[in-house]
C-alpha cells in the first residue's frame, strides 16, 4: 500500500529552515503553527442535533414514562481494539460528544489540554482518565463508559493498543458483543491490529467492525480504504480459531478527529454509501440475550430465611425458564421441577437471560453454590479433563509443576495444567512449541480438575465455557481460559483395575519420590511447606520408616531429614537413593536453599510428569 505523509512530518519539513523553533513530533503544548497544515486540530465543530425521544419533546414530560422506555431498550456491549495511536480513544470521545452524552463540566476539563489549541477539546481524554495515560497520550487500563440513544443502550470498553497491555485488551473484549478494530489509513494493517483481531476471534465476538480511521490524512482516498479492507479480509478468513467463521465483518471509513461517518454521514467521501458507525451499532443484534439457547443457571447462593423457603439464586446464563419446567442439577445429576421464580418485585411467570432470579423447586435436592441448573433435554457436560485456549495474564510465567485454583461460573476447584499443547505466535499466527507461557502469551493447554465441572464449549456458551486461573498463594488472577473440548466425566470414572503411576501423576502433578535431606528438621519442614503451597502431595516422615516405600509407591513426595549442623557448605540430598549436592547453605539463607531444593525436584521428579 502506498505510504502517506504524516502531518507532523509535513510540519517539520516545511519548517526545516527554522529548526530551532520548529515543533517536535509530539509536542507537549499547543503550537500555533500547526493549523496551517491541519485545520482540524485548531477547532472542535459543534455536533449536529441528534434524534431525541418524543418524551423530551412533549412539554408534559413524565419521568416514569421515560424510565419505562429506557427499561425496554436492549443493551449492546462493544470494545475497541487496534494498534497504538490508531485513534481508539478519540473515536470513543467523538461518539460520546456527537451523541451529546457528555456533561458540560467534563467538556471543560478536556478543553485546551495537552497538544490541543485553546478552546479545542481533546476528545481522547474522555476515556483516558489516568494521570499516566494523559501524560503519555496512551491508553493503559480498560475504561468503561455508558451512553444511550433513542434506540439502544451501550456500554463501551476502551482498551489499550500497546502489546504489553494485551491482557487488558482481552479483559475488555471478553464481555463484548461487538468489537471495533481501528486501522490507521496511513499505516495499514499492523501486527498489533492482527493480534487484537485474533484475540477478538478467540473470544467469540460475532460482529467485528473494522473502522479505517484518519481518512482525512490520506485525502479521503477510496483506494486506501479498499486496500485495507481486502488485506484485512484475507488475513481474518485465514485464522485457525474455533467458531470464528461465523463472525460477520463490517468496514467503515471514518475520521474520528473530524467526526466523519462516526455519528453523522459526511460529504467528504461520496464513494462510501454504507451506514455510519452509530447506525451500525444500533442495528447489530445483541448476542447477550440468548433466549433460544438451552437453559443454564449457575447457583450463586442458597437462600433459606426460614424453614418454609429454600431458593437457589443466580443469573440465567442462557435460555428461558417457567414454573413447571424440569431442571437438572449438575454435577449430582438429580432433577426436579421449578415451583416458583422469585424476584424482589414478585414472582415471575417467565424469566430469560440475563435476569438474576431465585428458583424454588418442588423437591428437596442437595444443591449448593457452584452447581449448575440446566435443561435436562440438553444438559452441560460434566468433566474433569478438557483442552482450553489460555491467555496468560501474570508477570510470573506459567509453572507446569504448580496447582492453581480454577474458577468456573460460581464454582472454584483445584486444577493443574498438565501440559502446553502448543503456543500461538501472534506475530506470524503459527503454532509454536513451549513448555511455559509468559505474560500476554496464548496457548492451547490440557487441564485437569480435582473435582468435576459442568461446562459447555466456549463456542456454545461464553458464560459456562470460560474460566479463570487463580494463584492460591497471592490470590491473583493469572490466566483466562476458554474451553474447547472436554471428555465426559462418566467415561473417565468408568476405568477399572489397578491405579497406574501415570494416573497418579495426572492427579497429583508428580510421581512418587523419597527426598532425604541432610540438615535440620526446621529446614525439612520449610521444604515441605513450599511443596505443599505448590499443590504437591507431600509428607514429612521419620528416617528409616518402613512405610516410606509404600508412600512413594502411592505417588507421594516423602521428605525425611538426617540431622546435620551444616559443617560443610551446600545441601546433601538423596532422591530415591541417588545422592547429589545442592549449592546452597540453609544456615546462611533458608529461602534460597529451599528454592534450590525445589529446583532440583523440578529437574527430576516433576520432569517425569512433563514427559508423560
Higher pLDDT, 441 or 348: 348
Question: Helix %, strand %, coil % for the chain, to 5?
Answer: 25, 30, 45
Query: 577 φ, ψ to 5°?
Result: 95, -15
Q: Tell whether 132 and 229 lie within a shared domain.
A: yes
Q: Let me know if 451 is exposed, middle or buried by CB neighbors in 10 A (0-12, 13-18, 19+).
A: middle
- For the chain, how many residues are written? 612
Confidence of residue 459 (pLDDT cuts 50, 70, 90): confident
The total domain count for the chain is 5
Domain identity same for 125 and 256: yes
Q: How far apart are CA 77 and CA 96, in angstroms?
A: 15
Residue 46 covered by a domain: no
Residue 389 in any domain: the answer is yes
Averaged pLDDT, 462-467: 91
**pLDDT for 486-525, tens place per residue?**
877 655 555 566 777 776 666 666 777 777 777 777 878 8
pLDDT value at residue 131: 43
The CATH number that applies at residue 481 is 2.40.30.10
Report d(CA 484, CA 457) in Å as an integer. Answer: 5
- Lowest mean pLDDT across 3-7, 57-61, 291-295: 3-7
- 532 within 8 A of 489, measured Cβ to Cβ: no
In this predicted structure, which of 43-52, 131-140, 180-189 has the lowest mean pLDDT?
131-140
Residue 177 has pLDDT above 80, yes or no: yes
Residue 121 CA to residue 143 CA, distance in Å, equals: 19
Helices in 285-436 by DSSP H: which ranges? Answer: none
Contacts of 146 (CB under 8 A, 6+ apart): 153, 154, 155, 156
pLDDT at 421 over 90: no
Q: Is the pLDDT of residue 569 over 60?
A: no
Question: Distance between CA atoms of 541 and 534, rounded to whole angstroms?
Answer: 19
The reply to whether 208 and 344 lie within a common domain is no
The CATH number for 573's domain is 3.40.30
Q: What is the pLDDT of residue 3?
A: 42
Alpha helices (runs of H) in 78-184, residue ranges in sequence order: 88-98, 104-109, 131-136, 166-173
Q: Decide if pLDDT at 14 tops 50.
A: no
Cα 178–184–186 angle (5° rounding)? 155
Residues 481 and 392 in one domain: yes
Q: Residue 347 domain-assigned?
A: yes
| CA distance linking residue 482 with residue 388, whole number of Å | 5
Shared-domain flag, residues 343 and 410: no
In a domain, 64, yes or no: no
* 478 and 513 co-located in one domain: no
Is residue 394's pLDDT more than 70? yes
Q: What is the pLDDT of residue 382?
A: 92
Closest CA to 5 of 249, 315, 224, 157: 224
Pairing of strands 381-392, 442-455: antiparallel
* Residues 15-49 pLDDT 10s: 344 434 444 444 445 556 555 555 665 566 666 66
Q: Within a domain: residue 68?
A: no
Quick: pLDDT tens for 111-127.
Answer: 766 556 566 777 777 76
The residue from 493, 516, 543 where one domain ends is 493
DSSP 171-204: HHHTT-SEEEEEEETTT-S-HHHHHHHHHHHHTT
Q: What is the mean pLDDT of residues 228-235?
A: 91
**Residue percentage of the chain with pLDDT more than 90:** 29
Is the pLDDT score of 271 beyond 80?
A: yes
Q: Using the predicted structure, report yes or no on whether residue 256 has a pLDDT greater than 70.
A: yes
Same domain, 531 and 570: yes
- DSSP code per residue over 226-287: HHHHHHHHHHHHT---TTGGGPEEEEEE-BTTTTBTTTB--SS-TT--S--HHHHHHHSPPS
CB of 55 closer than 8 Å to CB of 62: yes
Q: 278 and 343 share a domain?
A: no
H-helix or E-strand containing 538? strand 538-540
Total Cβ atoms within 10 A of residue 125: 21
Model pLDDT for residues 41-97, shown as the tens digit of each residue: 556 666 666 555 555 555 566 778 777 777 778 888 998 888 877 888 888 888 888
Instruction: Identify whether residues 126 and 264 lie together within a single domain.
Output: yes
What mean pLDDT value characterizes the chain?
Answer: 78
pLDDT band at 190 (very low <50, low <70, confident <90, very high): confident
- Taking alpha carbons only, the member of 592, 553, 597 closest to residue 575 is 597
Would you state the pLDDT for residue 168? 80
The domain boundary residue, chosen from 440, 471, 493: 493
Task: Let me know if residue 52 belongs to a domain.
Answer: no
Residue 355: CB atoms within 10 Å = 16
Asked if the structure places residue 242 within a domain, the reply is yes
Cα separation, 393 vs 218, in Å, equals: 37
Residue 66 domain flag: no
Higher pLDDT: 336 or 535? It is: 336
pLDDT at 323 (0 to 100): 96
Q: Are 327 and 342 in contact (CB under 8 A)?
A: no
Residue 230: CATH number of its domain: 3.40.50.300
Spell out a b/e string for 182-217, using b for 16 or more CB atoms within 10 Å of the CB, else e.
bbbbbbbbbebbbbbbbbbbbbbbbbbbbbbbbbbb
**Backbone phi and psi for residue 152, each to the nearest 5 degrees, phi listed first:** -160, 160
Domain-terminating residue out of 461, 493, 525: 493
Report percent pLDDT > 70 for the chain: 73
Q: Measure CA of the first residue to CA of the last residue in the chain; give whole Å.
A: 49
Instruction: Average the pLDDT over 440-461 and give the result.
Output: 89
Opening angle at CA 31, ends 28 and 32, nearest 5: 160
C-beta neighbour count of 173 within 10 angstroms: 25
CA distances, 359 to each of 97, 320, 333, 364 (Å): 43, 13, 17, 12
Residue 22 confidence (pLDDT): 40
**Greatest mean pLDDT among 66-80, 148-162, 407-421, 514-528:** 407-421
**Number of neighbouring beta carbons within 10 Å of residue 113:** 15
- Is the domain of 484 the same as that of 523? no
Q: What's the pTM?
A: 0.71
Query: Is residue 322 domain-shared with residue 470, that is, in the same domain?
Result: no
pLDDT for 15 equals: 38
- In this prediction, residue 545 has a pLDDT band, given cuts at 50, 70 and 90, of low
Boundaries of domain holding 238: 74-283
DSSP secondary structure string for all residues of 9-31? HHHHHHTGGGTTTPPPSS-SS--
| 87 and 109 belong to one structural domain | yes
Scanning the structure block, which residue is given the C-alpha cell 525445589? 598
Amino acid at each position: 500500500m502506498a505510504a502517506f505523509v504524516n502531518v507532523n512530518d509535513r510540519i517539520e519539513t516545511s519548517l526545516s529552515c527554522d529548526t530551532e523553533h520548529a515543533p517536535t513530533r509530539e509536542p507537549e503544548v499547543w503550537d500555533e503553527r500547526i493549523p496551517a497544515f491541519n485545520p482540524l486540530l485548531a477547532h472542535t465543530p459543534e455536533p449536529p442535533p441528534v434524534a431525541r425521544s418524543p418524551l423530551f419533546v412533549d412539554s408534559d414530560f413524565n419521568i416514569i414514562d421515560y424510565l419505562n422506555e429506557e427499561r425496554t431498550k436492549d443493551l449492546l456491549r462493544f470494545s475497541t481494539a487496534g494498534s497504538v495511536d490508531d485513534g481508539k480513544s478519540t473515536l470513543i470521545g467523538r461518539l460520546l460528544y456527537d451523541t451529546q452524552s457528555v456533561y458540560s463540566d467534563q467538556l471543560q476539563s478536556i478543553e485546551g489540554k495537552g497538544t490541543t489549541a485553546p478552546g479545542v477539546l481533546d476528545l481522547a481524554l474522555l476515556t483516558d482518565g489516568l494521570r499516566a495515560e494523559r501524560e503519555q497520550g496512551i491508553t493503559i487500563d480498560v475504561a468503561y463508559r455508558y451512553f444511550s440513544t433513542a434506540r439502544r443502550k451501550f456500554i463501551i470498553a476502551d482498551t489499550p493498543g500497546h502489546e504489553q497491555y494485551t491482557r487488558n485488551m482481552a479483559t475488555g473484549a471478553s464481555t463484548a458483543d461487538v468489537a471495533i478494530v481501528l486501522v490507521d489509513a496511513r499505516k495499514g494493517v499492523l501486527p498489533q491490529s492482527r493480534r487484537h483481531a485474533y484475540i477478538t476471534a478467540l473470544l467469540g465476538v460475532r460482529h467485528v467492525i473494522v473502522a479505517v480511521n484518519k481518512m482525512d490524512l490520506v485525502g479521503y482516498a477510496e483506494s486506501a480504504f479498499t486496500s485495507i479492507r481486502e488485506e484485512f479480509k484475507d488475513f481474518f478468513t485465514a485464522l485457525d480459531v474455533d467458531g470464528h467463521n461465523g463472525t460477520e465483518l463490517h468496514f467503515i471509513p471514518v475520521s474520528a478527529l473530524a467526526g466523519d461517518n462516526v455519528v453523522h454521514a459526511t460529504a467528504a467521501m461520496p464513494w462510501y454509501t454504507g451506514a455510519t458507525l452509530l447506525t451500525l451499532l444500533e442495528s447489530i443484534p445483541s448476542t447477550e440475550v440468548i433466549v433460544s439457547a438451552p437453559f443454564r443457571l449457575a447457583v450463586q447462593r442458597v437462600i433459606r430465611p426460614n424453614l418454609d423457603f429454600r431458593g437457589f439464586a443466580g443469573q440465567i446464563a442462557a435460555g428461558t425458564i417457567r414454573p413447571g419446567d424440569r431442571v437438572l442439577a449438575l454435577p449430582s445429576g438429580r432433577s426436579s421441577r421449578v415451583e416458583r421464580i422469585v424476584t424482589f418485585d414478585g414472582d415471575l411467570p417467565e424469566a430469560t437471560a440475563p435476569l438474576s432470579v431465585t428458583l424454588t423447586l418442588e423437591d428437596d435436592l442437595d444443591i449448593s453454590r457452584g452447581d449448575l441448573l440446566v435443561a435436562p433435554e440438553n444438559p452441560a457436560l460434566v468433566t474433569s479433563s478438557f483442552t482450553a485456549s489460555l491467555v496468560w495474564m501474570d508477570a510470573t510465567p506459567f509453572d507446569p509443576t504448580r496447582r492453581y485454583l480454577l474458577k468456573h461460573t460460581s464454582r472454584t476447584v483445584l486444577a493443574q495444567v498438565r501440559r502446553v499443547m502448543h503456543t500461538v505466535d501472534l506475530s506470524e499466527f503459527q503454532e509454536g512449541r513451549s513448555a511455559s507461557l509468559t505474560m500476554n502469551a496464548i496457548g492451547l493447554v490440557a487441564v485437569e480438575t480435582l473435582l468435576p465441572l459442568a461446562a459447555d464449549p466456549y463456542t456454545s456458551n461464553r458464560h459456562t465455557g470460560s474460566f479463570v486461573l487463580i494463584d492460591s498463594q497471592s490470590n491473583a488472577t493469572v490466566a483466562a481460559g476458554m474451553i474447547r473440548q472436554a471428555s465426559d466425566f462418566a467415561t473417565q470414572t468408568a476405568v477399572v483395575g489397578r491405579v497406574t503411576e501415570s494416573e497418579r501423576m495426572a492427579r497429583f502433578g508428580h510421581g512418587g519420590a523419597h527426598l532425604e535431606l541432610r540438615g535440620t528438621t526446621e529446614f525439612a519442614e520449610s521444604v515441605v511447606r513450599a511443596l505443599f503451597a505448590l499443590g504437591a502431595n507431600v509428607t514429612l516422615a521419620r528416617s528409616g520408616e518402613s512405610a516410606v516405600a509404600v508412600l512413594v509407591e502411592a505417588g507421594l513426595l516423602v521428605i525425611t531429614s538426617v540431622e546435620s549442623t551444616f559443617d560443610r557448605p551446600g545441601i546433601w540430598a538423596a532422591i530415591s537413593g541417588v545422592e547429589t549436592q545442592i549449592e546452597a547453605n540453609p544456615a546462611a539463607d533458608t529461602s534460597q536453599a529451599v528454592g534450590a531444593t525445589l529446583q532440583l525436584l523440578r529437574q527430576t521428579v516433576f520432569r517425569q510428569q512433563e514427559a508423560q
